[in-house]
A and B are shown apart, each in its own frame.
Chain A
């Protein structure tokens, strides 16, 4: 199936069998490996990208459902929220192994884009679907608040 979508601002044509997850297109066809595979069933959040500005799980999103859509990945996310998140993440030592962090950052940026001063509950809710087995959660909470003050 032919699908035309924008990936990190670049118009991209994809020809993939119906139902092919966006994640496989990103990683295997386009060589964009920043978005990670963790579970394949929308249970870990490692594959989080922005689809038309909202966080979504690339592992369960068929690429053919994205005709005309705009997708942003960790490689392309930019703007004041992304800059603030990356700076806070680095200073507060959020990543440990780092494997879940592309997804964490995409969820955190999406949260800050709609809520400039999230409290603990808003953070817990927005980040609930992003597992981190290294358990960087406490620093994620602090770094999101820190990032909010930097924007």
Chain B
């Protein structure tokens, strides 16, 4: 029996009060005495060289403290490892439109921005590469990222199997360049004290920012502290430092004052990453009864010309979503004159599923097999890419639960047959998939003489609910209410945590917190039996049992002690323990899986497409924090509506300038776009990958939405669309 989740179930978000009172502090709220403000002026061209730059008017403008260009800024050491190398203000070369050409420091943000607008430059202009078509000729094979993210793969004889299959589909799709567009733009503040610097950064990876800043600024890591209380949305564009982060810290040292800068909304379209556009060709061969014989999935993704490292690994789902012994995949990157792309919710699988799951949907109609039934016939018995078993695989249960809860049985098989008044109605589905990811993390647990329990790790809260989930992990392990747990995060001097991205945090930091709390209990027991003043003095540590924060002798319950008393007697009045999580190679693999079921309504006269009902079913391990997990799920599904129907950054094909770099004409979902959404989390506890039994949630929830919507549009209209975002014109055309 599967049940829909309800948002009122489970503990409230621990920082909820701060977030409804205006009390939550974001980087732009940083107030420092004598704070100066930085604004960057941007390049008018996308490719070429700065011939001359005139800063005189800006320097003379009211409130201006300093102006820096590539000619006057003392260069930084290229630190390596960044999402984008520091090319801005380092040399005269322009690689993309709006690349910083000058930094203005002024007393106020308004003065800095006004002066930045007074800067003019002359350029030697090269013709920019502004479309995938133009870039294709110079496409190259990217470097491998890790054991899974490799540019090519081949098992069996995929091309031969497709060519000899009785049923074949050859299908090409395109997905758009998109922006993360957090409402809080990327923001940095920095303040020096001698040769030590504090950097406040809206950041999903403060540990990496600390490390990279130290290298670039030429100071030891222990001289850099990176802080962030709350991050105002991230979705991938705040993973570690961007050039503006490091430049801001550099400028603070040069002007001898604390400084702050926020990217302008326009700069959010060039200088903090984007999801690159892709063109994917997928060829699939099936047997007459719908069993996959071969898949060839080739992807071309938009790269920058100045930094070859990012690839959208879009062909990934073909490697491990369905049962197929013959699979070949290939990735190429086509360099264009745009800013550096980066991971954006949900990378790789999120883009590749649009090719794979619309192709399968199409072929299901040709075979006369129900789309869900087709997927049920192709559930992989093991991880065929790595040739190892699954530790858990609830894929069939996902489809069955979705069909039942969505009323799939009532859906007519034929496309174009459902109507409601003047509107065409369609029902479609697609699979959702991401790897179940985890990585090294450390946490510290402590208790003080007042009995306050604290868990600490250098992760940050980007809205996913990490403080709440970590409180729950610690509270459950201790048998105490979550109000008793104090969570410390957002400070790079705390035990190191990984990036808050790739959906790794719960499994990684959550496990580290669990291990730290267990270690703290061990430590408390060990110390109590050795403490002269403790009623447990001299007892065997093994005979001590824990009841919340009370330790009781199992043979003599009158002998008891408390966390607070043990800590009070300890040196320094507190007791600490560390937890270190390092994932083991277990010889099996698991995935974060799901399926999206969607109902759309299409107005055949004006082509308006409306998502009217949506269900997500997910097998994502044990759910630690029901409220925040559910919010992640619905938020991710709405994110997918944006991907399917709205989001696209248009580059001018002649100048490579973004032509819709604002909320005015770069659309994201708003209140009226959002239907009722139901969520089912299946019981899928998997303790193989980590002791919590959790899995990755934050990205899988959005992955199937776009193909499910496209499939529902086909069911409504009989039109098979192959471009994201799907627009009214395409439906009418």
In this complex, how many residues of chain B approach chain A with their Cβ under 8 Å: the count is 64
A63 in the interface (beta carbon within 8 A): no
Q: Which of B16, B110, B262, B662 has most chain A Cβ within 10 Å?
A: B16
Find the A residue at minimum CB distance from B182: A133
Q: Is A44 a contact of B12 with CB atoms below 8 Å?
A: no
A10 in the interface (beta carbon within 8 A): no
B21 in the interface (beta carbon within 8 A): yes
* Chain B: minimal CB distance from A77 (Å): 9
- Residues of chain B at the chain A interface (Cβ within 8 Å): 7-8, 12-13, 15-26, 28-29, 31, 108-110, 180-185, 230-235, 262, 265, 461-465, 627-628, 630-632, 634-636, 638-639, 642, 662-664, 668-674, 676-677
Q: Which of A90, A95, A105 has most chain B Cβ within 10 Å?
A: A95
Q: Is B663 a contact of A44 with CB atoms below 8 Å?
A: yes
Across the interface, A97 reaches (CB within 8 A) one of B184, B634, B674, namely B184
Q: Is A38 a contact of B16 with CB atoms below 8 Å?
A: no
Q: Which of A34, A123, A124, A138 has most chain B Cβ within 10 Å?
A: A138
* Chain A: minimal CB distance from B447 (Å): 28
Q: Is A138 a contact of B634 with CB atoms below 8 Å?
A: yes
| Residue interface mask A98-137, B partner, CB < 8 A = 1 | 1111100100000000000000000111011011111111
* Chain B: minimal CB distance from A84 (Å): 12
Q: Is B182 a contact of A86 with CB atoms below 8 Å?
A: no
Tell whether A138 pairs with B22 under 8 Å between CB atoms, given A31-B31, A91-B8, A133-B235.
Answer: no
Q: Is A138 a contact of B19 with CB atoms below 8 Å?
A: no
Q: Is A36 a contact of B671 with CB atoms below 8 Å?
A: no
Find the A residue at minimum CB distance from B111: A17
Q: In the complex, what distance in Å separates the CA atom of A20 from the CA atom of B113? A: 13
- Residues of chain A at the chain B interface (Cβ within 8 Å): 20, 24, 27-28, 31-41, 43-44, 46, 73-75, 85-86, 89-102, 105, 123-125, 127-128, 130-142
Question: 15 pairs across A/B with beta carbons < 8 Å?
Answer: A24-B109, A33-B22, A38-B663, A41-B265, A43-B664, A93-B627, A93-B631, A95-B19, A98-B19, A99-B233, A130-B671, A135-B636, A135-B639, A137-B669, A141-B671
* Chain B: minimal CB distance from A44 (Å): 6
List B contacts of A131 (CB < 8 A): 183, 663, 668, 670
Q: Is B262 a contact of A37 with CB atoms below 8 Å?
A: yes
Q: Is B183 a contact of A93 with CB atoms below 8 Å?
A: no
Q: Is B20 a contact of A89 with CB atoms below 8 Å?
A: yes
List B contacts of A123 (CB < 8 A): 671
Q: Is A35 a contact of B13 with CB atoms below 8 Å?
A: no
Q: In the complex, what distance in Å separates the CA atom of A91 from the CA atom of B180? A: 28
The 7 A-B pairs with the shortest beta carbon distances in the complex, nearest first, are A34-B22, A99-B232, A97-B463, A98-B19, A135-B638, A74-B22, A96-B463
Find the B residue at minimum CB distance from A121: B672
List B contacts of A44 (CB < 8 A): 183, 663
List A contacts of B628 (CB < 8 A): 93, 96
Across the interface, A93 reaches (CB within 8 A) one of B7, B17, B24, B673, namely B7
Q: Is A137 a contact of B627 with CB atoms below 8 Å?
A: no
Q: In the complex, what distance in Å separates the CA atom of A131 from the CA atom of B28? A: 19
Q: Is the interface of A mostly helix, strand, loop or mixed?
A: loop
List A contacts of B31 (CB < 8 A): 31, 33
List B contacts of A139 (CB < 8 A): 7, 631, 634
* Chain B: minimal CB distance from A5 (Å): 19
Q: In the complex, what distance in Å separates the CA atom of A133 from the CA atom of B22? A: 18
Across the interface, B671 reaches (CB within 8 A) one of A91, A124, A133, namely A124
* Chain A: minimal CB distance from B139 (Å): 32
Q: Is B670 a contact of A142 with CB atoms below 8 Å?
A: no
Q: Is B674 a contact of A135 with CB atoms below 8 Å?
A: yes
Tell whether A135 pairs with B12 under 8 Å between CB atoms, given A89-B20, A99-B183, A128-B671.
Answer: no
Q: In the complex, what distance in Å separates the CA atom of A9 from the CA atom of B628? A: 36
Q: Is B662 a contact of A41 with CB atoms below 8 Å?
A: yes
Q: Is A93 a contact of B462 with CB atoms below 8 Å?
A: no
Q: Is A128 a contact of B672 with CB atoms below 8 Å?
A: yes
Q: In the complex, what distance in Å separates the CA atom of A111 from the CA atom of B298? A: 51
Q: Is the interface of B mostly helix, strand, loop or mixed?
A: loop
* Chain A: minimal CB distance from B590 (Å): 26
Q: Which of B25, B28, B232, B632 has most chain A Cβ within 10 Å?
A: B232
Q: Is B663 a contact of A99 with CB atoms below 8 Å?
A: no
Q: Is B464 a contact of A96 with CB atoms below 8 Å?
A: yes
Across the interface, B672 reaches (CB within 8 A) one of A38, A93, A124, A135, namely A124
Tell whether A101 pairs with B627 under 8 Å between CB atoms, given A36-B184, A90-B13, A133-B183.
Answer: no
Q: Is A91 a contact of B233 with CB atoms below 8 Å?
A: no
List A contacts of B108 (CB < 8 A): 24, 28
Q: Is B671 a contact of A127 with CB atoms below 8 Å?
A: yes
Across the interface, A95 reaches (CB within 8 A) one of B16, B662, B668, B669, namely B16
List A contacts of B185 (CB < 8 A): 38
List A contacts of B639 (CB < 8 A): 135
Q: Is A43 a contact of B231 with CB atoms below 8 Å?
A: no
Q: Is A24 a contact of B110 with CB atoms below 8 Å?
A: yes
* Chain A: minimal CB distance from B32 (Å): 11
List B contacts of A36 (CB < 8 A): 26, 28, 183-184, 232
* Chain B: minimal CB distance from A51 (Å): 17
* Chain B: minimal CB distance from A88 (Å): 10
List B contacts of A128 (CB < 8 A): 670-672
Across the interface, B664 reaches (CB within 8 A) one of A20, A41, A141, A142, namely A41
* Chain A: minimal CB distance from B599 (Å): 15
Across the interface, A99 reaches (CB within 8 A) one of B8, B26, B465, B642, namely B26
Find the A residue at minimum CB distance from B235: A133
Find the B residue at minimum CB distance from A143: B7
Across the interface, A91 reaches (CB within 8 A) one of B12, B182, B465, B630, namely B12
Find the B residue at minimum CB distance from A140: B671
Across the interface, B674 reaches (CB within 8 A) one of A85, A95, A101, A138, namely A138
Q: Is B184 a contact of A99 with CB atoms below 8 Å?
A: yes
Across the interface, A75 reaches (CB within 8 A) one of B13, B22, B642, namely B22
Q: Is B668 a contact of A73 with CB atoms below 8 Å?
A: no
Q: Which of B183, B185, B461 has most chain A Cβ within 10 Å?
A: B183
Tell whether A138 pairs with B463 under 8 Å between CB atoms, given A93-B13, A93-B630.
Answer: no
List B contacts of A97 (CB < 8 A): 182-184, 230-234, 461-463
Q: Is A134 a contact of B463 with CB atoms below 8 Å?
A: yes
List A contacts of B674 (CB < 8 A): 135, 137-138, 141
Q: In the complex, what distance in Å separates the CA atom of A25 from the CA atom of B265? A: 20
Given contacts A97-B461, A102-B22, 18 further A-B contacts (CB under 8 A): A20-B110, A27-B29, A28-B109, A33-B29, A33-B31, A89-B20, A93-B627, A97-B231, A98-B232, A98-B463, A99-B230, A127-B670, A130-B671, A131-B663, A131-B670, A135-B642, A137-B671, A137-B674
List A contacts of B630 (CB < 8 A): 93
Find the A residue at minimum CB distance from B23: A34
Find the A residue at minimum CB distance from B670: A128
List A contacts of B461 (CB < 8 A): 97
